[in-house]
């Protein structure tokens, strides 16, 4: 049987379930609040976010981010306003980078 040696230090330092902090503009925050199907606890985080220098600072769990990205995709697909669809898609891409 072949023995595999693992490095002593792991290159990966971020936990998969660690909260992710995001800075949102007022308009990005409003877009998130316009999602029709949003979990109540996520909505509460968005509503109660603290503001510093025109930016809202919010910590989301990976599950929160996944739910928000699904909601943003849904809104982008079903809106008839192309400008709003683009805004939803851009915010989804921003959250995807977390």
Does the pLDDT of residue 72 top 80, yes or no? yes
Q: What is the pLDDT of residue 27?
A: 95
Banded model confidence at residue 78, pLDDT cuts 50, 70, 90: very high
Q: What is the pLDDT of residue 98?
A: 79
Does the pLDDT of residue 9 top 90, yes or no? no
Contact predicate 96/84, CB 8 Å: no
Q: For residue 50, what are the CA distances in angstroms to 24, 59, 83?
A: 11, 11, 28
Q: Tell me how far apart the alpha carbons of residues 61 and 72 are, in angstroms, rounded to a whole number.
A: 16
Does the pLDDT of residue 31 top 60, yes or no? yes
Q: What is the pLDDT of residue 12?
A: 45
Q: In which residue are the tokens 């990966």 written? A: 12
Contact predicate 18/33, CB 8 Å: no
Percent of the chain with pLDDT over 90: 74
């Amino acid at each position: 049987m072949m023995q595999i040696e693992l490095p002593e230090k792991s290159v990966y330092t971020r936990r998969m379930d660690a909260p992710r902090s995001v800075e949102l503009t007022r308009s990005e925050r409003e877009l998130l609040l316009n999602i029709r199907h949003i979990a109540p606890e996520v909505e509460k985080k968005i509503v109660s976010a603290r503001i510093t220098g025109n930016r809202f600072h919010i910590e989301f769990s990976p599950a929160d981010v996944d739910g928000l990205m699904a909601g943003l995709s849904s809104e982008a697909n079903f809106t008839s306003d192309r400008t709003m669809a683009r805004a939803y898609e851009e915010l989804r891409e921003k959250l995807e980078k977390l």
